[in-house]
Amino acid sequence: MEAAILAWLQNLAIRAFGISLFLLLAIDGAFALVLFATRDRGIVNRWTSRVLAVNLVLAGTGVGVPVLALGSRLAVRLVAPMIPTPPGAYFNADVGDDDDAPRRQVRVIK
């Protein structure tokens, strides 16, 4: 289970960074395209603060989520060895068909 949690956190970090980077580049590219196409300084004055705010949010998620995922991965690696694992189940299985056959203890490991 530890490996599944670590893999999920790694996947989350990579996905958050990738999505944030893609959106950041797409929004800035669209803004630059509009500015070069219209050459209107009014658009710059109206939209620069909003684009900057979105850039800061996306930069925060693109860096913050992977950092938190790395911290969580470290916490899982530190805590997981402290959690005891229950012993495997034991049962007696017949080895032969006759009653004189020896019985063997079999351990089932999950």
pLDDT at 35: 92
Q: What is the dihedral of CA 89, 94, 95, 98, to 10 degrees?
A: 170
Q: What pLDDT, on the 0 to 100 scale, is given for residue 74?
A: 94
Is the predicted pLDDT of residue 95 greater than 90, yes or no? Answer: no
How many whole angstroms separate alpha carbon 78 and alpha carbon 74? Answer: 6
The residue ranges of every structural domain in the chain are: 2-108
In sequence order, the β-bridge partners of residue 93 are 104
Residue 2: both structure tokens together: 């530890």
| pLDDT at 1 exceeding the cut of 90 | no
**β-sheet bridge partners, residue 105:** 92
Q: What is the mean pLDDT of residues 86-92?
A: 64
User: Nearest 5°: phi and psi at 68?
Assistant: -65, -35
pLDDT higher than 70, residue 5 = yes
